[in-house]
């Protein structure tokens, strides 16, 4: 199993804490009823952190008319909204919530050229809260598809996520299904699509980043 580079510091930190406390537990006069449960809990935490930063091996779903999921998780919202940051018009918003156990790599849903990027500091409301899209810490990326126009997707931090990483920058090429960012520990990604886009996903669907088609551009 490969591990993501964004996990290096977190994994080393948890490993160091685990080793320090483990050394203390086995060298200090601690009762076995305390030593073994704490030792087991430390190993479980270390395993969860390592698992969180795993890099999956996948076959990318590609299609010029497809919008594929930008992340692993569950579809929690499909609705028409007014997008106020970039388009300033009505769009279809599709939101995918990532639990702490999901892969947290973010993937380009379409190919094209990155036309916009902006990071916004903000709050840490739970990621499924309706106001998290506009009030939480977030990064907005827009990719201009050569045939179907622009698609906006937004990385949103949740109550546990405290660091959003975005590699995409304006002017750079975007390749469908390839990595553009990472969010640590529980979060959400919104996609804003043109009205008339055929939505193939449904609320409650469990989706995989770079694999599951969420929608299809109108011909």
Active site residues: 187
Q: Give the tokens for residue 149.
A: 């126009």
What DSSP string runs through 109-135?
SS-EEEEEEEEE--B---TTSTTHHHH
Q: Give the tokens for residue 131.
A: 């106001």
Which element (helix H / strand E) includes 157? strand 149-157
Q: Which of 118, 111, 210 is nearest to 170 (CA)?
A: 118
Burial of 122 (0-12, 13-18, 19+ CB in 10 A): middle
């Amino acid at each position: 199993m490969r591990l993501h580079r964004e996990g290096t510091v977190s994994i080393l930190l948890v490993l160091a804490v685990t080793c320090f406390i483990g050394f203390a537990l086995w060298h200090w006069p601690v009762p076995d009823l305390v030593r073994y449960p704490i030792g087991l809990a430390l190993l479980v935490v270390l395993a969860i952190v390592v698992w969180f930063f795993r890099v999956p091996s996948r076959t990318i779903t590609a299609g010029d008319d497809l919008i594929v999921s930008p992340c692993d998780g569950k579809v929690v919202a499909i609705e028409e909204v007014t997008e106020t940051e970039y388009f300033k018009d009505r769009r279809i918003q599709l939101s995918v919530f990532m639990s702490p156990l999901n892969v947290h790599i973010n993937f380009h849903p379409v190919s094209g050229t990155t036309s916009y990027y902006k990071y916004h500091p903000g709050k840490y409301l739970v990621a499924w809260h309706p106001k998290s899209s506009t009030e939480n810490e977030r990064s907005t990326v827009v990719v201009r598809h050569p045939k179907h126009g622009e698609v906006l997707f937004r990385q949103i931090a949740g109550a546990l996520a405290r660091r959003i990483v975005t590699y995409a920058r304006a002017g750079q090429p975007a390749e469908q299904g390839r990595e553009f960012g990472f969010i640590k520990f529980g979060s959400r990604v919104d996609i804003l699509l043109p009205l008339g886009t055929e939505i193939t996903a449904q609320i409650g669907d469990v989706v995989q980043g770079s694999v599951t088609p969420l929608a299809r551009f109108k011909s």
